[in-house]
Structure 1
């Protein structure tokens, strides 16, 4: 049995055929959500932004952090799928293959980002102290 939909609810949400409530965010709500995500990312990258490194290197370092974060999420998703008993073995294998493929793509992108970072550092002849700073930021 699904609860009745009140007219005010129809504008901000709905109930799908399985009885789940779907919420629709207003453009302002979406903006606030993005702003929150951007604030979290900015806080995460504060050390990169405050470094004395060139902007191009800062951008690559941020991209590397994004990729590492996405890889961690995919690894957790793989573990969740492996531990799940909800789907058939065929569905489980298909889902594992999909996530593994996404993980492979992310790892490839991470390797490319590292190669690009090394090339840029070589091209601008980054000195030893700056290279140490890059290494420290990669480890953070």
Structure 2
């Protein structure tokens, strides 16, 4: 069916109500903050869970005990979080926004988070070694763990 006249985008745009206007804001560093609805958060979590499940498929498909699998997944999570914090650190260092004091404070915050994540990673590795000893994993299984840790 042919359209007689083009659609007017502004006619289709719903009006902004005061409650909506406040849902997004700009923080002190000039970044835009967006607040998601509960449904949006659920959709985001579902997407993240699907990505995580795909990422950990090799661990799930392995013949390792469930306790070892859980720790391997936790180690991957921690490594991913560390990578994100390292990228955040680089963004802060390269940023021209804000004063030097604000930049220093932000750097210290991220460095503290990195220290905490690295401590958690060390603890997870220690727990993995303990669990592997407790369940008396054989050499082949330990090689499989090492391969999964490298990915």
Return the TM-score normalized by structure 2.
Answer: 0.79
Output the aligned Cα RMSD: 4.1
Report the structure number with the largest CA radius of gyration. Answer: 2
1:18-97 alignment runs, 5 A limit? 24-97=35-108
Is the Cα–Cα contact under 8 Å of residues 67 and 110 in structure 1 kept in the other structure?
yes
* Post-superposition offset of 1:87: 1.4
Give unpaired runs (5+ residues) of structure 2.
1-11
Give the direction of change, closer, same or farther, for the CA distance of 1:69–1:86 in structure 2 (3 Å limit).
Answer: same
The change in CA–CA distance for 1:14 and 1:2 in structure 2 (over 3 A counts) is farther
> What is the CA distance between 1:28 and its match in structure 2?
3.1
TM-score scaled by structure 1?
0.84
Deviates more, 1:42-51 or 1:86-95: 86-95
- SS for the counterpart of 1:38 is helix
